[in-house]
Structure 1
Amino acid sequence: MRILHILNHIQEIGNGIVNVAIDLACLQAKTGHDVAVASAGGEYEALLSEYGAKHFKIDQTRTPINLIKAASMYRVAVQEFKPDIVHAHMMTGVVLARLLKMSSGYTLVSTVHNEFQRSAVLMGWAERVIAVSQAVAQSMVQRGIAENKLRIVSNGTLGSPRTRQLKEYQPLSLKRPAIATVAGMYRRKGIAELIEAFAQVAANFPQAQLYIVGNGPDRELFEAQAKLTTVSDRIHFEGFQPEPQRYLLASDIFVLASHRDPSPLVIPEAREAGCAIVATAVDGIPEALDGGQAGFLVPPSDSKALAGALEQLLSDPNVLQQWKEQAQHNLDRLNVVRVHQETMMVYEELIANSK
């Protein structure tokens, strides 16, 4: 099968959409398919080359002149590569692939990652729409995407070609007990509530430290908030880290306080690393935590509830250890191989139906 993935870029910056697509492209190439990726480029070009996947450089920046150039370059890529499947992971890609399909003969698949964006409804232009969680699928139905178009392939990242085996990472020497989050610095990631919750419990646990791993446009806002607390010296902004596993392995508690999060890849990584997990009960997070069996679930935008969960874990070593162990149960379904296999089934069904 000839598969062309289309994305805005393939930079190594912790973007979950990019990471999912790169995992798929590498495993598809590894299993004998002809695979190419069309994007503006980035650090993952080298990894794709290692797996024998081709890269077409197409800059899809949304300016009129640039989009005209992108359309021309996309036509050239399709004529040269002759894909059976074009798999679009971002909105610009699905629009390009749909409008320029004409008589090319490929079948168009899209994956809805951030369904909370208004433009996500355009992903429904594809002939088959993959949702990364049950919650995303339900949301897309409510927004008018036909159920018979939708297939659910839940995210999983363990065993990714982008990373080494977990045992090969050296844990950092963090001050303990260590609470960590790995997230983009956006308000929707709930960093403000996490800082507030930590400030509420920190006095009762004078050794506890908070490590915030990630970067983004709202970082200065969160740093300013942290400075206004009485425990700012125990809140550490670590920036983007290409190997967040080193933080996860050294942490006692992992927190993801998102307001919206369709199916975060960091949850499987935190589970594999053996962190006790506290996360918000929104979108695909409960699915990633086995409905609450693998981690505490708290309401979003509720720093008091978040503080209460942290206090329970910090107050009793036995409870903390119990949740660390529960996080590591049932990890097989979070493996990237399962994501690859289920995605290939979507392709094969489409191609069989088109004959």
Structure 2
Amino acid sequence: MIVSSDIVPVESPLRICHLFTSQETGGLEKHVQEQCQWQLESTDAEIFVIAHPRYRAMFPEGVRFLPMNTDRSRRNPVLNLALLRQLRRYRIDLVHAHGGKPAHLLWNLRRFLRARVVITRHNRHHPKDKIARHFEHRIAVSLKTVANSSLDWTIIPNGTRLPSAGEHHCDQVDCNRAVVISVARLVPAKGVDVLLRAWCRAQVNSAVLYILGDGPERAALEALAAELNLEESVRFMGYQRQVADWYRAADLTVIASRYEGGPYTVAEALLAGCPVVSTDVGYVAENIPAQYLVQIEDVPALAVRLTAALGDVERLRGEFAPYIARARNRLTLEAMAGETWKVYLRALSGD
């Protein structure tokens, strides 16, 4: 256990608050959730979260969840005042702002805050440094998210912890055919339409593509699969609670996203020992062989990569072996959260 009071001469226990203003659920929210879990387990700090009430159920017992209507504008005086009151009321020592809007809110309140601030950039939707330059302690989840930044950033890739293996997928998988999975919410950003068109072009032999996830685009994507005559080789499985079991069963994971911060999918797949073909989003290029990377929305190139990957699965696994080994050191929850905690300690010590 990391005992914060043994390292930083501040009032014990430390009070750490995570702030995010999301309206959906994805990688950023998972990032905050897992950071909180690790901090509860591994430090003596008190952990708080300020977010919209819809996220309350995500956080484990022990996290102090402070609900707030964060859907208001970042310039809304009611939101700014409510945030300042909560940070003061609970005497927060350090607030971790996840994303551009939370950073902007803390910048609004900078003259009134006693807490130290750490910000994390999760994606490229906020590529300008106008707000970030006012904060000394900056984290980015990949080199790509800050490729156009002139500031210094601490790069800490998203890591995670896979649950123990189960057998929840076994009655849904055709074990006599190669198993390919795509784990994605069915929204345009995830590029499942691109994947279906590439799958139609690729020489996949008898492989089956299992699409794990749900969302508003499901009906349209199922119609597209039917239009492309993919009923025999593509199966829409809906939301799957035990995704880790699917990674362990799969011969290949495919990411066709148009944009991502992490994405967590590549970390989860590699930690489970599953190779990945992906578009060049987030930190994927830093973590898989270049020959399995394609440009965004490049259907022909994705089809070629799929054909190559499924043409020799044993070679594929051999090429991924060093990347999987590195991921098991670099893309774990312990690695991510431990490096984040070091940034906290630097901020609290005034370095």
- Aligning the two structures, in what range does the TM-score lie when normalised by the shorter sequence? 0.7 to 0.9
Instruction: Quote the residue 2:5 is aligned against.
Output: none
Instruction: Report whether the alignment pairs 1:87 with 2:96.
Output: yes
264-273 or 193-202, which deviates more: 193-202
Of 114, 126, 130, which residue of structure 2 is paired with 1:105?
A: 114
Instruction: Quote the residue 2:306 is aligned against.
Output: 310
118-127 or 237-246, which deviates more: 118-127
Deviation at 1:123, TM superposition (A): 4.7
Instruction: Report whether the alignment pairs 1:48 with 2:60.
Output: yes
Distance 1:297 1:46, change over 3 A: closer
> Which amino acid in 2 is paired with 1:111?
T
* Aligned counterparts of 2:167 and 2:19: Cα–Cα separation in 1: 31
Distance 1:63 1:261, change over 3 A: closer
Instruction: Quote the residue 2:329 is aligned against.
Output: 332
Q: Where do 1:77-156 residues align within 5 Å? A: 77-117=86-126, 122-141=131-150, 146-147=151-152, 150-156=153-159
* Aligned counterparts of 1:28 and 1:152: Cα–Cα separation in 2: 19
> Which amino acid in 2 is paired with 1:190?
G
> Which amino acid in 1 is paired with 2:40?
A
- CA RMSD, 1 decimal: 2.8
> Which amino acid in 2 is paired with 1:104?
L
The structure carrying a bigger helix percent of its residues is 1
Deviation at 1:265, TM superposition (A): 0.9
Residues 36-80 of structure 1 show CA distances to partners (whole Å, capped at 9, x for unaligned) of 00111346646432xx2211011111369x944433432331122
Say whether the 8 Å CA contact 1:179–1:252 is kept in structure 2: yes
Instruction: Report whether the alignment pairs 1:344 with 2:347.
Output: no
Instruction: Report whether the alignment pairs 1:276 with 2:275.
Output: yes
User: Which ranges in structure 1 are unaligned for 5 or more consecutive residues?
Assistant: none
* Aligned counterparts of 1:310 and 1:232: Cα–Cα separation in 2: 18
Q: Where do 1:195-344 residues align within 5 Å? A: 195-201=196-202, 205=205, 207-289=206-288, 292=289, 296-323=292-319, 325-326=321-322, 328-330=324-326, 331-344=328-341
Deviation at 1:280, TM superposition (A): 2.1
Secondary structure of 1:307's match? helix
- How many residues matched? 333
Distance 1:247 1:26, change over 3 A: same
Secondary structure of 2:149's match? helix
* Aligned counterparts of 2:35 and 2:313: Cα–Cα separation in 1: 39
TM-score w.r.t. structure 1 length?
0.83
Deviation at 1:302, TM superposition (A): 1.7
Q: Where do 1:18-37 residues align within 5 Å? A: 18-30=29-41, 31-37=43-49
TM-score w.r.t. structure 2 length?
0.84
Instruction: Quote the residue 1:7 is aligned against.
Output: 20
Percent of residue pairs identical: 24
Deviation at 1:111, TM superposition (A): 0.7
Say whether the 8 Å CA contact 2:287–2:323 is kept in structure 1: no
* Aligned counterparts of 1:37 and 1:25: Cα–Cα separation in 2: 8
Deviation at 1:248, TM superposition (A): 1.6
Distance 1:209 1:345, change over 3 A: same
Say whether the 8 Å CA contact 1:37–1:54 is kept in structure 2: yes
Instruction: Quote the residue 2:50 is aligned against.
Output: 38
* Aligned counterparts of 2:341 and 2:66: Cα–Cα separation in 1: 22
Deviation at 1:218, TM superposition (A): 3.6
* Aligned counterparts of 2:57 and 2:343: Cα–Cα separation in 1: 26
Deviation at 1:319, TM superposition (A): 2.2
Deviation at 1:324, TM superposition (A): 6.0
Distance 1:10 1:200, change over 3 A: closer
* Aligned counterparts of 1:139 and 1:220: Cα–Cα separation in 2: 37
Instruction: Quote the residue 2:69 is aligned against.
Output: 59
Residues 101-134 of structure 1 show CA distances to partners (whole Å, capped at 9, x for unaligned) of 4333112221111213568864555342211112
Secondary structure of 1:241's match? coil
Say whether the 8 Å CA contact 1:22–1:44 is kept in structure 2: no
* Aligned counterparts of 1:258 and 1:10: Cα–Cα separation in 2: 19
